[in-house]
Chain A
Amino acid sequence: MMKNDRREFIRKAGMGLLAGMGAASGLLTGGGFERTTSAAWAAVPGEEGLRWGMLFDTRRCPEGCTLCIESCHHTHNVPDIASLEGKIEWMHKENGRELLGSLCASTAAVPALCNHCAEPSCARACPTGSIFRRTDGIVAIDYHRCVGCRSCMQSCPYGEVSFNWSDPRAALKNPTVEYPTRQRGVVEKCNFCSDRLVRGKKPSCVEACPEGAISFGNLNDPSSEIRRLLESSETLQRKPELGTRPSVFYII
């Protein structure tokens, strides 16, 4: 009798625990995968507020053009370091197949930058909360707090975080006065031009693109231009299977 009671108790407790965990997981994960077809966008329950996103129409991205990268790196004082081991990049162009996987039919170079993920793995790795997701969806770095442990760099599946292995000022020829540089020993990456957004300007890569291939806007606003493009075209994200929910999209 005693044994049976206990067995029953354990069974019920276990079932309760499982049920609770199931319910909790349903509440907590905001739709792990982010499908990039129009139907999926319509099906995603609307999120509140602002989530900045970017869309590259690579059909309009000319081969060999690097104006967006140059503009970005100049505006944000990104040092120009030649060695592969010490290179710092906020934006770069890579082989589309390698960047977006086999779904990408073209091997032409496409631009890449921090994806400003909705579930950033870098933020989960940072021991000091120096890399974090802001309320507007931008994944930002607090350069005043970064201790330089490189955990975020290690955990970014896209390799979009760079570390200042040496003094960046030494590799900076013509700095932009309005924006700070970084110093040796901290990480850095694209900030989605939060410094320009606050002044009501569009990101510098968007402005620099002569073809208008880059769209920028609020992903949570159904009437925004970027949402209109997302709903009317087939788009790709980088490594969507990891569940990081990138905010950067590509039309091939």
Chain B
Amino acid sequence: MIEQALKGRRNYRIWSLALLVVAAGGVYASALQSADGFVHTGMGNNAIWGLYHAQLPFLASIAAASLAILVPGTLQKHSFLASLAPLAAFLGATASAMSLFFIAADLGMQRRILTLLLNPSPGAPASWQVPLLLLFLALTLTVGWAQVGAMRKGVKPPVWIRSAVMVAIPAGIALPVISAFTLAVVPGSELWTSALLAPRLMASGVAAGAGIMLLMAVTAEQLAGFKAGEETLERLAAVGAWAGLVFLALTGLDAATAMLGNMTADTAALALLYGNSPFAVVSWFALFSGTLSTGLLLVPSLRRSFIAAASLGSLLALSVWLQSGLTLILAGQLKDASAAAGYAPAVPELLLTAGIWAGAVLLMTVLLKITASAQLEREGL
């Protein structure tokens, strides 16, 4: 199967090469950082966490969201989502691999990385992150691979897949919960200590995950001849729209409680997020694009058009990335408005972040190509 990754048409090769170049930039930045530490980043006493850490809640939620497709796709008989199940498994694997890379990039003492596994402190939510991500990565990658293998041979997927998925359910659901809890241990950070953070991350993950899956499935359909089925894609778009609605509702409820209760610390945090911080523009853009894409995805005729659904899904995913990732961390860590001007990502930091993303997109492209070729091969028989 793996040989399919190396074969391909011109466009596939150019695309992969471009991604490789960006990933190589990331390797360079990473070497720079291991030599000189965080001096090449914009982080400092006023921005304790930066771009690296800002990816983590988003990626954890995406990993968990892959279960929304994977579980019905593998455990239910005749599920309309079965054709998307391998894609979902690979999405979960890619998101957890990315999380691990970003956690590693964010460590001041990278050569002590194994300490995270050897000396866990169970009372701290953060120590559950790496073991759970490793477990989820192993499970989803195996499940996806076994499914594609079965698809290629035109046989039923092996039965043990079901047990692997069953184990993956609690591990996957725990990812965004743990991610929210790692933020909840920070007293006085009102954006983070809300009990709604975990459900909000989960809903946003399903919305963004559906958006990304739409983009992936439609791209694979246009370029590699992968067939997910019209009805499947429409339902996927509906899943994204409803999850987006829940996410927006939870965000609104959080804000409304803070304002109606006149909880000054909470409203001050909201004012930093949407008002007097450099992130305000981003926050408003994210809120607006999220509302717009969710609203339009609720229109059935737009859901049925592949191109419209894929673009709206991508917009929704972008909005969630900004809200559950970037602004949540960067604005959430601000103690007051005077600290707000503290952070601007430096070039090596941007390179490393882009490098990890490019590596992930490359991995996803290869896995998608393998899936599409397996499907074509079966049809050719």
A242–B185 alpha-carbon span in the complex (Å): 12
- Assess whether B43 is interfacial by the CB under 8 Å rule: yes
A78–B123 alpha-carbon span in the complex (Å): 30
Question: In chain B, what residue has the closest Cβ to A239?
Answer: B188
Question: In chain B, what residue has the closest Cβ to A184?
Answer: B37
Tell me, rounded to whole Å, the shortest Cβ–Cβ distance linking A169 to chain B: 13
Partner-binding segment picked from B86-94, B111-119, B314-322: B111-119
A186–B188 alpha-carbon span in the complex (Å): 24
CB contacts (< 8 Å) of A84 on chain B: these are 44-46
Q: Given A149-B108, A157-B187, A165-B37, are A124 and B44 neighbors across the interface (CB < 8 Å)?
A: no
CB contacts (< 8 Å) of B185 on chain A: these are 121, 124-125, 151, 155
Cβ of B187 and Cβ of A244 under 8 Å apart? yes
Question: In chain B, what residue has the closest Cβ to A119?
Answer: B187
Cβ of A87 and Cβ of B126 under 8 Å apart? no
Partner-binding segment picked from A105-113, A140-148, A190-198, A211-219: A140-148
- Assess whether B107 is interfacial by the CB under 8 Å rule: yes
Tell me, rounded to whole Å, the shortest Cβ–Cβ distance linking B2 to chain A: 34
- Assess whether B49 is interfacial by the CB under 8 Å rule: yes
CB contacts (< 8 Å) of B107 on chain A: these are 147-149, 185
Inter-chain contact total with CB atoms closer than 8 Å = 118
- Assess whether A126 is interfacial by the CB under 8 Å rule: yes
Question: In chain B, what residue has the closest Cβ to A126?
Answer: B124
- Assess whether B18 is interfacial by the CB under 8 Å rule: no
- Assess whether B292 is interfacial by the CB under 8 Å rule: no
Cβ of B113 and Cβ of A151 under 8 Å apart? no
- Assess whether A166 is interfacial by the CB under 8 Å rule: yes
Which residues 25-64 of B have a CB within 8 angstroms of A? 37-39, 43-46, 48-49
Contact flags A223-252 to B (C-beta < 8 A → 1, else 0): 000000000000000010011100000000
Contact flags A98-138 to B (C-beta < 8 A → 1, else 0): 00000000000000000000000101111111101000000
Q: Across the A-B interface, give the 9 residue pairs with the lowest CB-CB distance, nearest first.
A: A148-B108, A85-B44, A185-B108, A129-B121, A127-B126, A127-B127, A155-B186, A185-B109, A148-B109
List 25 A-B residue pairs with CB atoms under 8 Å apart, sorted by A's residue number: A83-B44, A85-B44, A85-B46, A124-B124, A126-B126, A127-B130, A128-B115, A130-B119, A145-B115, A145-B119, A147-B107, A147-B113, A147-B115, A148-B109, A149-B106, A149-B107, A150-B49, A151-B182, A151-B185, A154-B186, A155-B186, A155-B187, A159-B335, A185-B38, A244-B187
Known contacts A127-B126, A129-B127; 16 additional CB pairs below 8 A are A85-B44, A121-B185, A121-B186, A123-B124, A125-B186, A126-B121, A127-B121, A128-B115, A129-B119, A146-B112, A147-B115, A148-B109, A149-B103, A155-B186, A157-B188, A185-B110
